[in-house]
Chains A and B, each alone.
Chain A
Amino acid sequence: MLTPPDVALAPLLPILLVLAGAVSSTVLGFHLPRRTLTAINLVLLLLSAAAMALLWSGPGELPATAFGGSLRADNAAVLLGLTIVAGSMMALLVSLDTAYRARLSFPEFDAMLMYAVTGTLLIAFSGDLIVMLIGLEVMSLASYVLATLQDSRRAEESGLKYFLLGSVGSAVLIYGLALVYGATGSLSYGGIAAATAGLTPGNLGLLVGGALLLLAGFGFKVALAPFHQWTPDVYSGAPTTVSLFLSTVVKVAAFAGMLRVFGGALQNAPFWASALQLLIAATLIVGNAASLFQTNFKRMLAYSAVAHTGFLAMALLGTPGLGGAALGYYLLVYTLMTGAALAIVAALQRTEAGMNISDLRGLYHRHPGYAVALAACLASLAGLPPFAGFFGKYLAFQAAFQNGYVWLSILAVLASVAALVYYLRPAMLLFMPDRTPAREYPHGQRPATNLTVALGVAAITVLGLLPNLWYGWLADPAIWELLAGR
């Protein structure tokens, strides 16, 4: 007799709920209007979040696992999963208002988005490299489709670029995965961590090669320079709702994978940290320098997403306890502020190309609410103190600095000073007097977008003033030191 694997439904439930949303959108799309599907999906996402909250294990409790540890619903997974759900709900809410105008109002949009979320949750909940890879592929394939779904040249170009470079990234990642498996003889994070603790020099080269290939593969997914080339084109070419999803949820998931692999499985492996350090330095320089010269606001946000990748990845260089907490906090804040900013772009743009920065001039006199919210988001992205972005950056820098990456921290501080310039220039334009006709899309009621923006801005303000609301849950270093399992 063969023994069946242990299928525990509790740790699977959050993922299954999201998958149910994807499947129902696929099937019911022929019978129900899309807005109904979106409502169903929003409810299912909320239920999934609730299921994740129930999975929270208190001190001393063992996290729920399934499939012999291949799926781990530990606290890190729950926290990252909640961040993912927040980002997905923002994307869905915004799509309620803008999808029709963006020619995206198919049931397939909802289905693909929910499939992608299923993949992202699988990454966050993964307990071994195979589950992580499956999640990554599900997420990537669905997001290629999302980027191409709009029937326009721009979307096709962006989708094709995303697909070609993304599949190269996946291939590199799989090579790395195979090498790491070859070096350690294990696919589970815990097994790899145990095997890397006492390596024989014979397969050290294999391990280092595998780790570097994994780093390059993840570099493609999170857009670390020099693997970031697709990012601006894809984010600015895709419909804004999709850009919102790609730049928040997909990035969070890729970072969750990185955290699991590098913070958990490979934490004892040598050399990858030095390589990551160089990549981060390059990302900081390229992302921030390129952002300075953008004239299109959406494209500037795309480059700012690259720059933020650099800041976020710094948290990975910290010790697991401190770095994991910093990354967890920063990812949520990043999702909220980028999501809110792109939601405003989606609401106000005339075409899916976004708007020029100069078009923002005097927005305060036409749409005071949006202008104030956008200013808050930009200030938070720049890392100005009353907002949560400041605390996120502070935590990430601190994590890297305390682990001995002094020059990188200094470079990051300099980079964020440069970032002030390109974030605050549009923020100032918002409040300047302007006599020219409005260049925003004038029509429409956007209750869902307004709700998203309001919640996002409120959250970054509150989290900035009272960071412990979220950080308190993350602060326990035990969460992040057990990423690989016991």
Chain B
Amino acid sequence: MLGIALGIGVLAVLVSALLGPKKASRAKLMAYESGNDPEHGGVGTGQRFPVHFYLVAMLFIVFDIETAFFFPLAVAYQKLVPFAFWEALTFVGLLLVGYYYILKKGVLEWT
């Protein structure tokens, strides 16, 4: 399935590259910046962005791993009741501690 799916994508790009016209000009190939000449462009060093996105990414990793840990517990849950409930409660409780911390630190605020 993955092969087919990627294949369709590659095929589409190839066909279009073969069939489409190629009349590029400097203005056409310029990065869009509301009609001005682009400044500080280019992949890599020129691209700066708010550090807040990093924080969100890191929080995502933490909480996503937590979700991933929760999946096996959820699947086996009914076979481990009631022990699993206390287990889950402890887990969620510790998670909420971290959640409260980031909430109070204002990491979830966007200005």
Contact = CB atoms under 8 A, between A and B. Distances in A.
Contact of B100 (A1, A7, A27): A27
B97 A23 contact: yes
B80 A4 contact: yes
A23 B96 CA distance: 10
A2 B97 contact: no
Contacts of B100: 26-27
Given A26-B101, A27-B100, A27-B101, A2 B80 contact: yes
Query: What does DSSP make chain A's interface, helix, strand, loop or mixed?
Result: loop
B48 interface: no
Size class of B's contact patch?
Answer: 10 to 19
Interface in A1-58: 1-2, 4, 7, 23, 26-27, 30
Contacts of A1: 79
Contacts of B101: 26-27
B9 to A, nearest CB: 36
Query: What does DSSP make chain B's interface, helix, strand, loop or mixed?
Result: helix
Contact of B104 (A2, A4, A23, A30): A30
B84 to A, nearest CB: 8
B53 interface: no
Contacts of B76: 2
Interface in B62-111: 76, 79-80, 83-84, 94, 97-98, 100-101, 104
A23 B80 contact: no
B80 A26 contact: no
Nearest to A4: B83
Contacts of A27: 97, 100-101
Contacts of B97: 23, 26-27
Contacts of B84: 4
A418 to B, nearest CB: 47
Interface of B: 76, 79-80, 83-84, 94, 97-98, 100-101, 104
Given A2-B76, A26-B100, 13 more contacts: A1-B79, A2-B79, A2-B80, A4-B80, A4-B83, A4-B84, A7-B83, A23-B94, A23-B97, A26-B98, A26-B101, A27-B101, A30-B104
